[in-house]
Amino acid sequence: MKVIIHAGMHKTGSSSIQRTLAEAKLTDHTYAPWEKPNHSSLFQLLFRDPVEDYRGFKIEGLTRANLLAKRTEWLTRNTATLEENAAKTIVYSGEDLSSRHDFGITEKFAAYLRQFTQNIEVICYVRPPVSFMASTLQQNVKSNNLSRLNPNKLWPYYRDRLEKFDRIFGANNVRLVKFEKSGLTNGDAVTDFLTWIGINPSDINILNTNESLSLETLALVFAQRKLTDGLAKGFKGAGRANRIAVRALSETGNTPIALAPEFYERVLKRNRQDLAWIDQRMGTSMMDTPKFSPNPIRSEDQLIDIALGLVEKLDETLPKSLSNQNTETDRRERLIRYFQLLQENAQAQLAKT
């Protein structure tokens, strides 16, 4: 048996890899079972302690008793998968393994897998620093309730994320790939990954997922986090309700997201040793040329101003049941009311399913 662990990083085509494998009919490979294509929360469930501290479980209002019972169920299911597929390659994929702070999860996961095989390989797609910062900003606003912009917290911290794989699995078993089109098979991370693990990409349906936001959508979601209570939380389905609310704003504008030099240059200087470490580990320069945008991100106030300037446009994009209820004249109050109605509408949609 061979086990392949795809450990991210975040925002490197991971969702597309996960969806493709979860829905594919595989012969010589098995994609490990879980409730979602992304195994990150599975790793948290099986190997994190205290398990109830995981942010995703808190949002859903899950208790320790709920989670320990669920752990027993899913540990049994994954053990059966490993035992029953001894002649196959088992694939796991979860970006949380390449987080800076993984609470010992990677080490525990490795010890668990070694009960079944010593043949374990890790692959991680590594995003250059400025594009990583821009993508992480989007992700943190969308999923992590970010309501303050701190450029220092967006740095990849490559060594903290990646050195543990060399230590736990051995550097010869860890493949780090620069996430840029010119270095990927057919310029695509999914195709590159499938080819590397021995699956012919033409044999399965590749499902590409684009989760990038426009500047306008990012500004609105950031304003929602900043001006209201932020993410819905504390009940089952809260994560889905938040995603419904974000999707309702996703048609607002198409300006690409980029960071202004004054936003990231000090961060680059502060972390030059970390950048030198990843350059040496990768054997190439990881520094990237920032994307162009007619309005690069500079500050919190800028994002709030963009959001306030979109109040009238929301009348055109939001469902009539929402827009017709907004009669406030003050822009900020109107915007807050929009956000409240969006959350109510999202929870109502959730209740119908």
DSSP 186-224: GG-HHHHHHHHHT--GGGS-------PPPHHHHHHHHHH
How large is the angle between the packed helices 129-143 and 215-227, nearest 10 degrees?
50
Amino acid making up residue 11 = K
Which token pair is 320?
A: 């009539």
- Look at residue 299 and tell me if it is in a domain: yes
- Whole-model pTM: value is 0.88
- Look at residue 116 and tell me if it is in a domain: yes
- Look at residue 152 and tell me if it is in a domain: no
Q: What percent of the chain has pLDDT over 70?
A: 96
H or E element that contains 281: helix 272-282
pLDDT grade for 145, boundaries at 50, 70 and 90: low
- Look at residue 63 and tell me if it is in a domain: yes
How large is the average pLDDT for residues 120-138? Answer: 96
What is the rounded CA–CA span in Å between residue 289 and residue 138?
Answer: 18
CA-angle at 32, arms to 27 and 34, nearest 5°: 135
Say whether both 94 and 225 belong to one domain: no
Q: Residue for token digits 């419904």?
A: 244
What is the rounded CA–CA span in Å between residue 352 and residue 236?
Answer: 14
Is residue 23 a contact partner of residue 13, using CB atoms and an 8 Å limit? Answer: no
Say whether both 252 and 198 belong to one domain: no
Neighbours of 65 (CB within 10 A): 9
- Look at residue 300 and tell me if it is in a domain: yes
Last residue of a domain, one of 203, 238, 268: 203
DSSP state of 310: T
Say whether both 326 and 348 belong to one domain: yes
Say whether both 239 and 347 belong to one domain: yes
How large is the average pLDDT for residues 51-61? Answer: 92
Say whether both 190 and 228 belong to one domain: no
Neighbours of 17 (CB within 10 A): 28
Say whether both 187 and 246 belong to one domain: no
Position 231 scores a pLDDT of 74
What is the rounded CA–CA span in Å between residue 256 and residue 292?
Answer: 8
Say whether both 95 and 228 belong to one domain: no
Query: Which among 161, 172, 279, 259 has a CA at the least distance from the CA of 218?
Result: 259
Residue 88 above 80 pLDDT? yes
Dihedrals phi, psi of 4, to nearest 5 degrees: -110, 130
pLDDT in tens, 100-126: 999 999 999 999 999 999 999 999 999
How large is the average pLDDT for residues 263-273? Answer: 96
What is the rounded CA–CA span in Å between residue 31 and residue 127?
Answer: 24
- Look at residue 50 and tell me if it is in a domain: yes
Which token pair is 233?
A: 């939380």
Say whether both 196 and 77 belong to one domain: yes
Say whether both 67 and 41 belong to one domain: yes
Residue 287 above 60 pLDDT? yes
Query: Which among 209, 202, 211, 210 has a CA at the least distance from the CA of 24?
Result: 202
Residue 329 above 70 pLDDT? no
Say whether both 345 and 229 belong to one domain: yes
Q: Could you give the number of structural domains in the chain?
A: 2
- Look at residue 236 and tell me if it is in a domain: yes
Last residue of a domain, one of 203, 234, 268: 203
Say whether both 119 and 229 belong to one domain: no
Position 325 scores a pLDDT of 54
- Look at residue 331 and tell me if it is in a domain: yes
What is the rounded CA–CA span in Å between residue 10 and residue 102?
Answer: 14
29-31 and 2-6 beta bridge pairing: unpaired
Range of the domain at 303: 215-257+291-352
2-6 and 89-93 beta bridge pairing: parallel
Position 158 scores a pLDDT of 98
Which token pair is 267?
A: 């961060």
333 or 50: which leads in pLDDT: 50
Say whether both 47 and 187 belong to one domain: yes
